[in-house]
Structure 1
Amino acid sequence: MDILAKITETEVTTPGEIPLGFLFASIKNIGDSPVTVNSVSLAPGEAKGYPFVGKPYTAIPYDTKDSTLRMLYVL
C-alpha cells in the first residue's frame, strides 16, 4: 500500500465496484433513472456516502442500469 492516499473522481455509466481497501467514498446518481449501490436503490439526484471509519472498506458493487453515477473515493 502506498504511503499517500489516492483520490479518484469519475463518472460511470456501466456496472462495477468501488475497489477493496477504499477509505472514503461519495456517490451521487446524476442520471434520470434509479441505480443500485451495495444492493440498495439510489433514486435520481440522491447521494450516498461512506465516511472514514479508521479502517478500509470492502469492495462496494454498483449497477448503473440506464443512469450515471458521479463518484469520488480515496484509496
Structure 2
Amino acid sequence: MANQAERTNTFKVMNEYLNASVYVKLKGGEGVKGVLKSFDQHLNLVLENAEELTERGSRSLGTVLVRGDSIVAISPVK
C-alpha cells in the first residue's frame, strides 16, 4: 500500500497531465492514447478522443473509462 507522500506525489503528477494527451499502457501489452479529462483515487481515468493501439493497428474509441487496476504505466504524449 502506498504511503501518503507517494499518493500526494502521484496526484500532483496526474494533475499536470489533465487536459493533455497521454499514453496508457495496459495489462496484456496493449495501450490507449487520449486526452486525460479526469481521474480518481483508484487511478480510474476518463480519456476523450481515445484511440486503442495494438500490434494490428489502431481504432478510434471516443470517450472511455480506463479502470485503474488495468493500468501498468501512464506517460504524456507530445
Q: What's the TM-score bracket when you normalise by the shorter of the two chains?
A: 0.3 to 0.5
Greater relative contact order (Cα < 8 A, sep 6+): 1
Structure that is richer in strand per residue:
2
